[in-house]
């Protein structure tokens, strides 16, 4: 659905400052119907990446192909047509303050030159979908942040896009509202089969809604894969920082023993494996860190342990037999 | 002697009407010329849709030159051009060209400032939703800047009131003319007081109407 072929974006040098490379030979592919997250610190190139998808920015190298079109090769009319197939929502909502909720949602339809009668029914339909029918004649200033983002979503969906781009869509919202907006985004993905690309600096957002994730650092894709994989077994330093385990292993004074990380997924999460293995193999353990969470709907747990005494190799085999993944963290010492 | 011995109320009435005509005519033309000029100044600016350094610099320079000429001087310098345009440099008609030339660049700058205040995100979103440049300017940029554009018009109209009074110096008629010829040159202080009060009321009314319209179009 969306393909980046070693895409680079360099901003022209201005007044003595040298050119700035926002994206360096980034390649990735987003399949139809998936929720794809792009995570990175500010300045990593996320904003540029998402804006290359709907041609708000054009690449200086490589190729961006969206829904069959090479974005850079489109003429003005082609680009506008593409943008009607690619909705976008924003961190600060970017609603028109001079227009009512209704008029904001109708705006893209008006831009597309649809008939007034069609605009009216479609707008009502969209407002009902995001639960804002009662607020149709209010102005954005009269709404809460969550409501504004719902208007943004309704507006982005107006022209019936196949792709929805979310530019830090929940970063300006409180945790509860974030939850609601993410739930709505998930619903849209399931019900309408929308392909969703979201950029964020919050791993939590990725964990809740994304199928796959790319980790961006200084304009490069340093890691890409299923959320489960990246979240539980981050390979890059950046990904580890986002997952929040880097400090666990390195900032704590480590006790003697073999350092391992156990990952429990699905069923295994709830089994009392640890005590049983310790008794059977005579291995003693100290818990250095741990977390239990949900990835989308699946539960998982992760424990960092220092194992001492007994038959450590046998213990590891026993863990693996119980469906627990074991990673040795020798390198962390 | 009664307090307003020298006052011919019908003179005051006609002078007020002249002032209002000059104000209305020059304000209408100021908006017609200044608004597009302000929009072009904004759009050709750095990082904007029609970025064009040459055009922006030339227009900016023109606006600055016109704005830096004191209005009294402009009135006189413009006389040949005014005669060319409206056939006379006297009366209400003769006052309108210099009033417009004095006020339009001023208003253009205020429009440009109002447009700069518009959230860039809103413009970006309008493009992302499939808008053409024209649609984004007319459908998003101008409506979003409307409170500022109207507030700017109010400021300009009030500046024009004082300009019309100055225009009285070179024979434009109106309240300024009355104040100078009767109030000042014939020492009829009561005429001076009445014209000042009428001008004051005019400015007050303009400000109130302007503020009310801004409140009405502003939904921030």
Separation of CA A278 from chain center? 38
Distance separating alpha carbons of residues B202 and A271, to the nearest angstrom: 84
Which residues fall within 8 angstroms of residue A96, CB to CB, at 6 or more apart? A103, A104, A107, A140, B122, B126, B140, B143, B144
* Cβ neighbours around A183 below 10 Å, total: 12
Section B86-113 average pLDDT: 94
Residue in the structure block whose two tokens are 């009366």: B91
Is there a contact between A52 and A8 (Cβ–Cβ < 8 Å)?
Answer: no
Q: Is residue A317 part of a domain?
A: yes
Each residue's pLDDT tens digit, A200-214: 998 889 989 999 999
Q: Is residue A194 part of a domain?
A: yes
Confidence of residue A246 (pLDDT cuts 50, 70, 90): very low
Residues of A in contact with B140 (CB under 8 A): 96, 107
Section B201-210 average pLDDT: 96
Bridge-partner residues for A308, per DSSP? Answer: A284
Q: Is residue A144 part of a domain?
A: yes
Higher-confidence residue: B169 or B68? B68
The answer to whether A80 faces chain B, any CB pair under 8 Å, is yes
What's the confidence (pLDDT) of residue A236? Answer: 85
Residues of A in contact with B131 (CB under 8 A): 80, 108, 111
CA distances from A196 to A35, A131, B125, B194 (A): 5, 21, 17, 70
Confidence of residue A238 (pLDDT cuts 50, 70, 90): confident
The answer to whether A74 faces chain B, any CB pair under 8 Å, is no
Q: In this model, does residue A14 exceed pLDDT 70? A: no
Is there a contact between B41 and B108 (Cβ–Cβ < 8 Å)?
Answer: yes
CA distances from A275 to A21, A318, B220 (A): 52, 12, 61
Q: In this model, does residue B1 exceed pLDDT 60? A: no
DSSP string, A19-42: PEEEEEEEEEEE-TT-EEEEEE-T
Q: Where are the beta strands (DSSP E) in chain B?
A: none
CATH number, position A273: 3.30.70.260
Q: In this model, does residue B96 exceed pLDDT 50? A: yes
Q: In this model, does residue A151 exceed pLDDT 70? A: yes
A94/A168 same-domain check: yes
Distance separating alpha carbons of residues A153 and B51, to the nearest angstrom: 31
Separation of CA A51 from chain center? 15
Each residue's pLDDT tens digit, A15-55: 656 678 899 999 999 999 999 999 998 888 999 999 999 99
Q: In this model, does residue B118 exceed pLDDT 80? A: yes
Q: Is residue A47 part of a domain?
A: yes
What's the confidence (pLDDT) of residue A310? Answer: 82
Q: Is residue A114 part of a domain?
A: yes
CA distance B219 to chain A (A): 6
What's the confidence (pLDDT) of residue B2? Answer: 66
What percentage of chain A carries pLDDT values higher than 90? 62
A234/A279 same-domain check: no
What's the confidence (pLDDT) of residue A333? Answer: 43
CA distances from A112 to A108, B59, B131, B142, B176 (A): 6, 34, 8, 19, 53
Task: Please answer yes or no on whether A94 and B135 come within 8 Å at the CB atom.
Answer: no
Q: Is residue A248 part of a domain?
A: no
A286/A160 same-domain check: no
Give the CA angle between residues A136, A142, A144 to the nearest 5°: 95
Alpha-helical (H) ranges within chain A are 46-53, 76-85, 101-111, 116-129, 145-157, 175-192, 203-209, 227-232, 237-243, 246-250, 273-281, 312-321
What percentage of chain B carries pLDDT values higher than 70? 99
Q: How many domains does chain A contain in total?
A: 2
Q: Look up the domain containing A288 and give its range.
A: 253-332
Residues of B in contact with A81 (CB under 8 A): 130
A258/A169 same-domain check: no
Bridge-partner residues for A212, per DSSP? Answer: A36, A226
CATH number, position A135: 3.40.50.300
Each residue's pLDDT tens digit, A68-85: 999 999 999 999 999 999
> How is the beta sheet containing A298-308 ordered, strand by strand?
A284-295, A298-308, A258-265, A325-328
Mutation for A interface: B119, B123, B125, B219, most A CBs within 10 A: B125
* Positive/negative CA dihedral, A136, A142, A146, A152: positive
What residue of A is the nearest CA neighbor of B146?
Answer: A98
ipTM for the complex shown: 0.86
Domain-ending residue, one of A243, A266, A295: A243
Each residue's pLDDT tens digit, A293-313: 777 777 888 888 888 888 888
Chain A with chain B: Cβ pairs closer than 8 A: 71
Strands A86-90 and A163-167: parallel
What's the whole-model pTM score?
0.86
Confidence of residue A253 (pLDDT cuts 50, 70, 90): low
A149/A265 same-domain check: no
What's the confidence (pLDDT) of residue A251? Answer: 54
Confidence of residue B36 (pLDDT cuts 50, 70, 90): very high
Q: Is residue A110 part of a domain?
A: yes
According to CATH, the topology of domain B9-217 is: MetI-like fold (1.10.3720)
pLDDT winner (highest mean) among A269-278, B57-66, B185-194: B57-66
The answer to whether A159 faces chain B, any CB pair under 8 Å, is yes
Residues of B in contact with A97 (CB under 8 A): 122, 144, 219-220
A91/A153 same-domain check: yes
Residues of A in contact with B219 (CB under 8 A): 97-98, 139-141
What's the confidence (pLDDT) of residue A197? Answer: 97
Which residues fall within 8 angstroms of residue B23, CB to CB, at 6 or more apart? B157, B160, B161, B164, B202
Confidence of residue A265 (pLDDT cuts 50, 70, 90): confident
Higher-confidence residue: A299 or A96? A96
A64/A165 same-domain check: yes
* Positive/negative CA dihedral, B185, B186, B187, B193: negative
Confidence of residue A215 (pLDDT cuts 50, 70, 90): very high
A228/A272 same-domain check: no
Each residue's pLDDT tens digit, B143-193: 999 999 999 999 999 999 999 988 887 788 889 888 888 888 888 888 889
Section A262-270 average pLDDT: 79
What's the DSSP call for residue A214?
E
DSSP string, A36-105: EEEEE-TTSSHHHHHHHHTTSS--SEEEEEETTEEGGG--HHHHHHHHHHEEEEETT----TTS-HHHHH
Is there a contact between B150 and B128 (Cβ–Cβ < 8 Å)?
Answer: no
Confidence of residue B203 (pLDDT cuts 50, 70, 90): very high
Domain-ending residue, one of A210, A243, A276: A243
């Amino acid at each position: 659905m969306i393909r980046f072929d070693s895409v680079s974006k360099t901003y022209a040098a201005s007044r003595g400052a040298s050119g700035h490379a926002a994206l360096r030979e980034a390649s990735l592919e987003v399949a139809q119907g998936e929720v794809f997250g792009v995570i990175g610190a500010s300045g990593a190139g996320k904003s540029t990446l998402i804006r290359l998808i709907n041609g708000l920015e054009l690449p200086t190298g490589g190729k961006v192909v969206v829904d069959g079109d090479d974005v850079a090769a489109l003429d003005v009319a082609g680009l506008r047509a593409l943008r009607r197939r690619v909705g976008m929502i924003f961190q600060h909502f970017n609603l028109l303050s001079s227009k009512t909720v209704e008029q904001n949602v109708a705006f893209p339809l008006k831009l597309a030159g649809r008939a007034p009668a069609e605009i009216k029914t479609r707008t009502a339909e969209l407002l009902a979908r995001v639960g804002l029918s009662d607020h149709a004649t209010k102005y954005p200033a009269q709404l809460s942040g969550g409501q504004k983002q719902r208007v943004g979503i309704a507006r982005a969906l107006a022209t019936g896009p196949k792709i929805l781009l979310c530019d830090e869509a929940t970063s300006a919202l409180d945790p509860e509202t974030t939850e609601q907006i993410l739930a709505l985004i998930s619903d849209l993905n399931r019900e309408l089969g929308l392909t969703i690309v979201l950029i964020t600096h919050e791993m939590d957002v990725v964990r809740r809604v994304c199928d796959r994730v790319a980790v961006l650092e200084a304009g490069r894709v340093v890691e890409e894969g299923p959320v489960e994989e990246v979240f539980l077994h981050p390979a890059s330093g950046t990904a580890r920082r986002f997952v929040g385990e880097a400090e666990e292993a390195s900032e704590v004074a480590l006790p003697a023993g073999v350092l391992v990380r156990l990952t429990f997924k699905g069923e295994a999460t709830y089994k009392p494996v640890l005590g049983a293995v310790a008794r059977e193999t005579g291995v003693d353990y100290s818990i250095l860190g741990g977390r239990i969470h949900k990835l989308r709907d699946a539960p998982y747990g992760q424990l960092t342990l220092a194992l001492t005494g007994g038959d450590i190799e046998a213990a590891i085999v026993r863990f693996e037999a119980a469906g627990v993944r074991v990673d040795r963290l020798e390198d962390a010492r | 002697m009664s307090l307003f011995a020298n006052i011919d109320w019908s003179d005051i009435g006609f002078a007020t009407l002249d002032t209002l005509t000059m104000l209305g005519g020059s304000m209408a033309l100021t908006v017609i010329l200044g608004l597009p000029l302000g929009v072009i100044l904004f759009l050709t600016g750095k990082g904007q849709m029609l970025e064009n350094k040459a055009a922006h610099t030339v227009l900016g320079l023109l606006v600055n030159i016109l704005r830096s000429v004191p209005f009294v001087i402009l009135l006189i310098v413009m006389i040949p051009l005014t005669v060319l345009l409206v056939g006379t440099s006297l009366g209400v008609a003769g006052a309108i060209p210099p009033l417009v030339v004095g006020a339009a660049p001023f208003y253009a700058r205020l429009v440009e400032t109002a447009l700069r205040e518009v959230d860039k995100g809103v413009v970006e979103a309008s493009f992302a939703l499939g808008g053409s440049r024209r649609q984004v300017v007319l459908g998003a940029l101008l409506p979003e800047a409307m409170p500022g554009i109207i507030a700017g018009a109010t400021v300009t109209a009030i500046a024009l009131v004082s300009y019309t009074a100055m225009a009285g110096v070179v024979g434009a008629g109106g309240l300024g003319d009355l104040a100078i010829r009767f109030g000042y040159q014939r020492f009829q202080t009561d005429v001076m007081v009445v014209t000042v009060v009428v001008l004051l009321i005019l400015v007050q009314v303009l400000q109130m109407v302007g503020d009310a319209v801004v409140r009405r179009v502003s939904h921030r």
